[in-house]
Amino acid sequence: MVPKAVRDRLGLRPGVEVELIERDGWIEIGPAATPMRLVGRGDELVAAADRDMPTLTSDDVRRAVDQTRR
């Protein structure tokens, strides 16, 4: 069982897909990568998700940046 605090930090909620990776005899569990594709927008190419994604708030972005700085 994955402890609740860890699930909360990783955003693992019921129904969220996860990836299992075997590395050096250990299993790593993490959120599954979101399938992306490149689409043209004017003269630029931008990444677009292949499924509906939640709208990110500025608080969401700040939280994510803070977590990567730890």
Residue 51, domain extent = 4-69
pLDDT (tens digit, 9 = 90+) per residue, 43-68? 999 999 988 888 889 998 998 899 88
pLDDT at 7: 84
Alpha-carbon span 25 to 50, nearest angstrom:
33
What is the structure's pLDDT at 45? 95
CA distances in angstroms from 69 to 35, 52, 64, 65, 66, listed in the order given: 25, 28, 9, 6, 5
What pTM value is reported for the model? 0.44
% pLDDT > 70, the chain: 99
Number of domains the chain contains: 1
